[in-house]
Amino acid sequence: MDVLLLQAVKSVATADVNSSINYLPIVLQLLVAIGIVVLMMTGTHLLGPKRKTEDKLKNFESGIDAVGNARQPMAIKYFLVAILFVLFDVEVIFFYPYAVNFRALGWEGFLAVLGFVGFFLVGFIYIIKKGALSWED
Partner 1 sequence: MNVTQILFWLLSALTVFSALVVITRKNPVYSVLWLIITFISISGHYILLNAQFLAVVNVIVYAGAIMVLFLFVIMLMNLNADAEPQKNKWLQFAGVIAGGCLALVIIAALKNVDAKARIAETGSDIGLIENLGKVLFTQYVLPFEISSVLFLSAMVGAVVIGKKN
Binding site for partner 1 (CB under 8 A): 18-20, 23, 69, 71-74, 76-80, 82-87, 89-91, 93-94, 96-98, 100-101, 104-105, 108-109, 112-113, 115-116, 119-120, 122-123, 126-127, 130-132, 137
Cα 86 from chain centroid (whole Å):
11
Q: What is the smallest separation between the CB atom of 73 and partner 1, expressed in angstroms? A: 6
Closer by beta carbon to partner 1, 2 or else 55:
2
Q: Which long-range contacts (CB under 8 A, 24 or more apart) does 90-98 make?
A: 91/116, 91/117, 91/120
> What are the b/e assignments for 59-78, b being 16+ CB within 10 Å?
eeeeeeeeeeeeeeeeeeee
Residue 74 CB, nearest approach to partner 1 (Å) = 5
14 vs 63, beta carbon nearer partner 1: 14
